[in-house]
Chains A and B, each alone.
Chain A
């Protein structure tokens, strides 16, 4: 999430709201957000319903797989990055900037 925070102004310039999601509690997320200086929402999917609905629940870790979805203004998924590509937001930033240019 640190890398998304560093790229936040670029993403905001591309009309994009960043939302982090994990199966942590809101209390863990609050402590972590303060520690690393994240200013965008970190959402608590306690119990994993949303993680499962998106198909990202990894029983091995009892947690989500690392994945970043770009969702356009109509609510449609336009880009998915997994694992290492999801950790480095460069390609997500590019996808959001390209969307902005296309409109």
Chain B
């Protein structure tokens, strides 16, 4: 009886998990900035504490702006 009770509890607990797994994963975000558009300027701090703006490269260099997910991960 005790085993049956435990099994029922376990089964009941699994139902919400199964439902959650059925839900489609949310679509990944799509870039708002498109090819041919001006890249929005920003000023951010680098690993050495230096403030860097996108605008400082205007007229001088192309920029490869690489967004990554987390430090200490691949890519």
Contact = CB atoms under 8 A, between A and B. Distances in A.
Contacts, number: 197
Given A22-B67, A22-B68, A43 B52 contact: yes
A92 B49 contact: no
Interface residues of A, number: 67
B51 to A, nearest CB: 9
A59 B71 contact: no
A38 B52 CA distance: 16
A26 B40 contact: no
A22 B71 contact: yes
B6 interface: no
Q: Tell me if A's interface is mostly helix, strand, loop or mixed.
A: mixed
A28 interface: yes
Contacts of A66: 67-69, 75
Interface of A: 1-4, 11, 14-22, 24, 26, 28-33, 35, 38, 41-45, 49-51, 53-61, 63-80, 82-83, 86-87, 89, 92, 96, 99
